Amino acid sequence: MITHETARFPRGFRCAATHCGLKKSGDDLALFASDVPGAAAAVFTRNHFPGAPVIVGRERIREGRLQAVVVNSKVSNVGTGAEGIAAARAMGRAAAEELGIDESLVIMSSTGVIGVPLPIDRIQAGLRGLSAQLGDDPLVGARGIMTTDSHPKALSCEIRGRDDTPITITLVAKGAGMVAPNMATMLAYLFTDAEVEARSLDTILRRVVDRTFNMLSVDTDTSTSDSCVMIANGRAGPVEASAFEDALLALCTRMTEVLARDGEGATRLLRVTVSGAASLADARTVARSLMESPLIKTMVHGGDPNVGRILMAVGKCVGVRVEPERVSARIGETAVVEGGRRARFDDARVREVLQGDPVDLRVDLGVGTEAARGWGCDLSHGYVDENAAYYSS
């Protein structure tokens, strides 16, 4: 696999973005399109209050075929009832008319404030003429979907197809707060010129999301708009499924770290690895407990080696097999827990590690062979400042 230094699109994909008046300034509407329809798969939030675009998107993805994605930021179109559903459909219809394709081939997303009616007239006006601006830079579209992100996020890589043709996979995403995915991620769009049948694409995407985005948490809150969509237009021909999945996993792992590091107010990435668990479910539960604990997150932010918090976070997983005398833990390469007790270590050295980026926390439960990895970030005053005025800003 070759990782591109600067993200690029696969064959046949382009994007554009514009300011349509939802934000005070900056792009707030993005359009991603393939020149031909492709196989498609998607996973969405399991929140009981899904956004209108999620509701419509679940219908559209059943056909396993898409050609375009249209996304607005600032307003999420959540909690807006039948009017919101109608607005989501109108948004997709306007994008389809602009591209000259069937509206069933367009999936839409909205992100931003919950409970505010979608200004569909502004979106419709913003889409007019946008197809003429479609270009080859994924970062253009990435800027158009940002909310509290500090920077646009786009990655791409290259593998070889069955006939040695280069295959490109591109990932554009956003997400900084209200990030604790469940069956999807914040907003993420994957584009590839590989030829992959829709059912296989769905299976692969779900496996990869389960190991990456679903093990990411900024603040434990599962968004009402989480969507992860993938389109494979087949322009580069077939690819070996295993090689494709390996590349997709590597790309999504990289993006997971990018998203965690850019969490609202975050100053450093937290990577948690749990090994020696009796089951995969146990490993994931403990990893999530560690990376989501406010006390662990503030320990990391303050560079404070209060390792008793690790024992607390492991111990509160009451449904998990834990034998305290078998538990060990490391911060970086330093053993801080041995046999369920605080190990002897140099406080100054651990403080130094906690103030680095990333911070690696490893816990071994010592009762099995299963392992899991999770990604999070520290918790700072910046998170409170960002969210105390989110609706009004």
Active site residues: 185
Side chain identity, residue 191: F
Report d(CA 114, CA 121) in Å as an integer: 18
User: What's the half-sphere exposure (Cβ side, CA atoms, 13 Å) at 274?
Assistant: 31
Ligand-binding site membership of 185 (annotated): yes
Ligand-binding site membership of 77 (annotated): no
Ligand-binding site membership of 156 (annotated): no
For residues 126 and 91, is the Cβ–Cβ distance under 8 A? no
Ligand-binding site membership of 256 (annotated): no
Could you give the 3-state DSSP secondary structure of residue 274?
strand
Q: Which one, of 99, 111, 78, lies nearest residue 32 by Cα?
A: 99
Ligand-binding site membership of 257 (annotated): no
Q: Which one, of 118, 135, 138, 114, lies nearest residue 126 by Cα?
A: 118
CA 265 to each of CA 233, 261, 268, 299, 358: distance values in angstroms, whole numbers, following the listed order: 38, 9, 9, 15, 15
Ligand-binding site membership of 147 (annotated): yes
Q: How many CB atoms lie within 10 A of CB 56?
A: 23
Strands in 94-152 per DSSP E: 106-110
Report d(CA 22, CA 145) in Å as an integer: 12
Binding-site positions for substrate: 147, 174, 185, 264, 387, 393
Binding-site positions: 147, 174, 185, 264, 387, 393
